[in-house]
Amino acid sequence: MKTNILSLLFTCIFLLGITFFEPVASQKCKCAPNMCCSKYGYCGTSSAYCGKDCRGGPCSLPAPNNNANVAGIVTISFFNNIVYKSRGNCPGRRFYTRDAFLKAIKNYPHFGRSGSIADSKREIAAFFAHVTRVTGHFCYIEEIKGSSRNYCDMTATKYPCNPKKSYYGRGPIQLAWNYNYGEVGKSIGFDGLNNPEIVARDPVVSFKTALWFWMENVHWDFASGKGFGATIKAVNGNECNGKKRASVSARVAYYIGYCKQFGVPAGKKLSQWGYCGTSSAYCGKGCQSGPCTRPPPNNNANVASIVTVSFFNSIGAMSAKGCPARGFYTRNAFLKAIKAYPRFGRTGSLADSKREIAAFFAHVTHETGHFCYKEEIGGHSKTYCDKSSTKYPCNPKKRYYGRGPFQLTWNYNYGKAGKTLGFDGLNNPDIVARDPVISFKTALWFWMNNIHSGFTSGKGFGATIRAINGGECNGHMPAAVRARVKYYTAYCKKFGVSPGKNLSC
């Protein structure tokens, strides 16, 4: 889902004009005794709060450094066996070397050295599994056709784009986006915004960028036992939740193969599709065998009595009178749409129902600018066509940009939603911006397939942000995250329930 710049402006105006019930946040970390204060000032109990840069509370220390000999694990034979599987004329064949990798890890003494020796081997296997997949066995240094893309996020004002540069994928993990180039350059000592090309020219710097990304976004979760599946979500979350099963399966296959080479079991929690684990992603919806967990009971909550006329209209009332979607999104259309999803807002306790409804409308408010937009601003110039999604081939005459309450994007989402809801999403995506009932149904389809189970199992509002627009998380777009959290806490207050824990991402 894409965030519209103008919708963010409406958000800022709204937030400046109204006093909200604030999420639990404080410069002095005034959290409950059993909760941690994250680096962004929010209270929670997961690694996002108690891990790196935790500011207060029962902060967890990283797993002890075991002094494993990484060079002894990443042998010449292991490294070269990856290279030798690429084509002889591949540009990366002579660029990526074991020597460059070993020089790069000197900057990251915790990489591959946390926990037990078996844990070290698993982490190294995981890292090289992703590198193998992303570079095609060390074939590619730069993203294919990357020079035609600029990956410039203009909302990342801390790292403004140089209009003469492009921030497409480069290096072992294909580092992309201006904010990543800016942040990694600042961290390891090069001008990422004005000289992003160095990542494709200096092999040591190239490996350092991959290790920087890993240690900042992946290492902690993997070292704390969340499994290989969590690394896929961190490296390329767009592949998860069934969007690119072949790609996920390929990453898992590399990981299992490398673990086998290192003589260690791969562990649990490998993926959400056909692999073993213990979380709701394995034991919940679609569980094939084992101690499958039944979903929480349907509580028969009256969603219409929670989403009152007053509540619904108060959202749209905050938008400008000239908004293109004014009058399109109606409470009546929403109530008709939820008939297709009887479990929405009716799972768990009545308080749980109210929290789920508050979360849903928090994102809808943010994505549409208080029901101002039904189509992505500038969307007509974008195709959002993933040609690798062969099950849902793009119609070259159509555009799959953001539409509806959740700004549905990409051909595979239009294809799947249409197949479920009974419309031709690939050949008639425009209907999402023309029929308000279908429009709401697409948002509910996305919610029930990607968010409902995790939210109702207690993962908190932060997990919903990651599912809808994970690109905002990990400090990339803190203002957008704060805006979503403010809407959520405000709506929870209106419904008379606490917002719960784990609010941010």
Which value, to the nearest 10 degrees, does the dihedral of the CA atoms of residues 359, 364, 369, 375 take? 160
Q: Crossing angle, helix 411-421 and helix 436-450, to 10 degrees?
A: 110
Which tokens sit at 8? 């963010």
CA distance 196 to 503: 34
CA distance 500 to 505: 14
Q: Give buried/exposed letters for 107-143 (b at 16+ CB in 10 A, else e).
A: bbebbbbbbebbbbbbbbbbbbbbbbbbbebbbbbbb
Check residue 329 and report its DSSP letter. S
Cβ–Cβ < 8 Å for 296, 347: yes
What confidence score (pLDDT) does residue 89 get? 85
Phi, psi at 423, each rounded to 5°: -135, 160
**Is the Cα dihedral 3, 473, 167, 145 positive or negative?**
negative
Beta bridge partners of 23: none
From the CB of residue 351, how many other CB atoms can be counted at a distance below 10 Å? 16
Ranges in the chain, pLDDT < 50 = 2-29, 61-62, 271-279, 281-282, 286-294
**Triad 262, 173, 226: Cα angle to 5°:** 55
Q: In the chain, pLDDT over 90 holds for what percent of residues?
A: 46
* Residue 156, number of CB atoms within 10 A of its CB: 17
Sequence-separated (6 or more) residues with CB below 8 Å from residue 333: 436, 437, 439, 440
> d(Cα 34, Cα 499) in Å, to the nearest integer?
17
- C-beta of residue 80 within 8 angstroms of C-beta of residue 64: no
d(CA 214, CA 221) in angstroms, rounded, equals 10
Q: What is the model's pLDDT at position 30?
A: 54
**Catalytic pick among 367, 375, 376, 472:** 367
Task: Tell me the per-residue pLDDT of 124-138, one tens digit each, with 9 for 90 and over.
Answer: 999 999 999 999 999
**What is the three-class DSSP state of 312?**
helix
What was the pLDDT predicted at 124?
96
Cα Rg of the chain (Å, integer): 23
Minimal CA–CA distance to 126: which of 38, 26, 210, 19?
210
C-alpha 346/C-alpha 341 separation (Å) is: 10
Q: Which amino acid is at 223?
A: A
Q: State which amino acid sits at residue 222.
A: F
Q: Say which DSSP state 58 is in.
A: S
Q: Residue 232 to residues 129, 216, 361: CA-CA distances in angstroms?
A: 10, 14, 28
- CA distance linking residue 287 with residue 284, whole number of Å: 6
The residues, ordered by sequence, that sit 6+ positions from 45 with a Cβ below 8 Å of its Cβ are 34, 35, 36, 501, 502
In a 3-state reduction of DSSP, which class is residue 26?
Answer: coil
Residue 169 exposed, middle or buried by CB count within 10 Å (0-12, 13-18, 19+): buried
Structure tokens at 36: 């941690």
CB 329 within 8 A of CB 372: no
117 CB contacts (<8 Å, ≥6 apart)?
A: 66, 68
- The three-point CA angle 13-14-18 to 5° equals 120
CB atoms within 10 A of CB 69: 11
Q: Which residues contact 161 (CB under 8 A, 6 or more apart)?
A: 150, 152, 153, 154, 167, 178, 193
Instruction: Give yes or no: 142 in active site.
Output: no
C-alpha span between 131 and 427 (Å, rounded): 36
Check if the beta carbon of residue 366 is closer than 8 Å to that of residue 480.
yes
Provide the token pair at 381.
């110039």
CA neighbor of 134 nearest in space, from 299, 126, 484: 126
Q: Is pTM beyond 0.85 here?
A: no
What pLDDT score does 47 carry? 59
